[in-house]
Amino acid sequence: MNHVLSRGGLRRVFAVCALALFAAAALWAQTVQFVFTSDEHYGITRKTFRSGQNVDAAAVNAALVSAMNGISDLTFAEDGGVSEGQKVGPIDFIAIGGDIGNRQEGTQEKAIQCSAVSWNQFKKDYIDGISLKNDKGATSPIYIIPGNHDVTDAIGFYKPMYPATDATVMANIYNMMMFPPAPLTKDTYNLSADRVHFSKDFDGVHFVFITMWPDAGERAWIEKDLSSVPETTPVILFTHDEPNVEAKHFINPNGSHDINAKDKFENILSEQFSGKSVNDPTTDEQMALEKFLARHRNISVYFHGNDHWRHYSEWTGVDNTIVLHVFGVDSPMKGTVSANDETKLSFYLVTIDSARRLMTVRNCLWNADPSNSSRGVTWDDAITVALEPRPVY
C-alpha cells in the first residue's frame, strides 16, 4: 500500500523532526565531549592483533581511529552517567597523551624507526584520518602533548639510538599546538626553550595541556595561565606522566648532570631530581605537586598516559591533603592488560555536564570482537565524578 502525505501532514512531520533536532542540539550544547587516548608507539609491533602476528603499530592505530570515527552515531548505555541513553553526537576535541613514536633505539644496522617516520604515520592516521565533528560541523580539533619517548628522540638517550637524535615529533607538536611565528624544524627544536603547554576553554571548563608532568617549570606556567581563570571554574589537567612521577625522568643530579648509561636519568623534565638514583622515591617532587594543587583547588581531574593501563584512582598526595581524580588510559601497543588480551583495547570518551558540573568517563572497547573488524565500539564501564573545587583539608 502506498501512503501519501498531504501538505499539512508533511508540515507536521517536518515540525516534529525540527523539534527533535532542536532538542538534541540543546542537549549537546549543555555538554562538553572529548576523546582521550595515549601511547600510540609507532615503530613497534603487537604480538597479535585480530588475525595477524607481529602487527605494525600503523595498522593497529589505523584500526583504532576507524572505530573512534564511528562513536558519534552510537547511543550511550543506561549506565547512570552523563547523557545516558542519549545519542553521543558531536565531539569537541580529541586529546593525545604522548609517546606518538617509540624511542628509536638501536644501531644503524637494526633500529626502531626514527621520529620522522613515526610522525608521518601518526599524521596520516590521526591528524588526517579522524573524521569526528564538533557541534558546528567542523572536524574536531586534536590536541597533542609529548611523551617521554618523543622527548628522548629529540635530546638523546643513554642507550644507542639511530639517528642519535631526531626532534621531528617534538617540532611538529610544538608547531601545531603553540603556533610559533616561524615553524620549528627537527634541527631548530630546543627542549629547554620549546616546552609545549597551552589551555582551552569549553562551556565553562578550563582544559590545561602540558609537557610531561607538572614539574617546577610547568607549574610556573600553569600558575600564570590560571591567574585569569576564576577559582570556581573547573580545571582539567592533561599530562603524560602519572602524579607519582618516575625519578628517571628528572635531570640527573650527579656529576655534570648529563644523560649517561651509569646514572640512567633521562633529563626530560625541567628540574633536577632531589635524590641520587633513578631507584629513589620521588617524595619531594610529589609533595611540591601536592602543595601546588592544594593552592588550586579547582584542578580536580588529571588525565595521563605512560603506564599503559586503564585505571581510575584518587590521588591524595604524600601528606593526604588533597583528593584528585586521576584517569590513566590504555595504550594500543603496550597496554598492561590489552597487550595480552586484545579484546581489552580501549580509549576514553568523556562527557561533561557543565551546568551540573558532572563528568562521566566511559571506557570504549574498540576491539571487543577481533574476528569482526566492523563491530566498532562496545561500551565498558563508566565512572562519574564531580568537578566542584576540592574541599580544604
Provide the grid cell at 73.
552515531
pLDDT of residue 4: 41
Instruction: Return all residues near 384 (Cβ < 8 A) that are at least 6 apart.
Output: 80, 81, 82, 358, 359, 360, 361
Hey, what domains does the chain have and what are their CATH numbers? 32-386 (3.60.21.10)
Residue found by looking up cell 584512582 in the block: 313
Question: What does the alpha-carbon distance between residue 235 and residue 261 come to, in Å, rounded to a whole number?
Answer: 39
pLDDT of residue 373: 87
Backbone angles phi, psi at 101, to 5 degrees: -105, 155
378-386, strands of its sheet edge to edge: 142-144, 93-96, 31-37, 346-353, 358-365, 378-386
pLDDT of residue 16: 36
Contact between 335 and 37 (Cβ < 8 Å): no
pLDDT of residue 285: 98
Question: What does the alpha-carbon distance between residue 304 and residue 327 come to, in Å, rounded to a whole number?
Answer: 6
Question: What does the alpha-carbon distance between residue 302 and residue 300 come to, in Å, rounded to a whole number?
Answer: 7
Contact between 178 and 210 (Cβ < 8 Å): no
pLDDT of residue 374: 87
**b/e for 300-320, b at 16 or more Cβ within 10 A?**
bbbbbbbbbbbeeeebebbee
Quick check: helix, strand or coil at residue 331? coil
Question: Which helix (H) or strand (E) covers residue 301, if one does?
Answer: strand 299-304
Question: What does the alpha-carbon distance between residue 338 and residue 347 come to, in Å, rounded to a whole number?
Answer: 11
Contact between 145 and 97 (Cβ < 8 Å): yes
Quick check: helix, strand or coil at residue 120? helix
Question: Following CA atoms 133, 139, 140, 146 in sequence, which dihedral angle do they give, to the nearest 10 degrees?
Answer: 150
Question: What does the alpha-carbon distance between residue 236 and residue 388 come to, in Å, rounded to a whole number?
Answer: 11
The DSSP output letter for 237 is: E
Q: What is the pLDDT along the chain (393 residues), one digit of tens a residue?
A: 344 444 454 344 333 333 333 344 444 457 999 999 999 999 999 999 999 999 999 999 999 999 999 999 999 999 999 999 999 999 999 999 999 999 999 999 999 999 999 999 999 999 999 999 999 999 999 999 999 999 999 999 999 999 999 999 999 999 999 999 999 999 999 999 999 999 999 999 999 999 999 999 999 999 999 999 999 999 999 999 999 999 999 999 999 999 999 999 999 999 999 999 999 999 999 999 999 999 999 999 999 999 999 999 999 999 999 999 999 999 999 999 999 999 999 999 999 999 999 999 999 999 999 999 889 999 999 999 999 876 655
pLDDT of residue 172: 98
84, burial (CB in 10 Å: exposed 0-12, middle 13-18, buried 19+): middle
pLDDT of residue 392: 58
Show contacts of 191-197: CB within 8 Å, 24+ apart: 191/151, 191/154, 191/155, 192/270, 194/170, 195/221, 195/270, 196/144, 196/145, 196/146, 196/170, 197/221, 197/222, 197/225
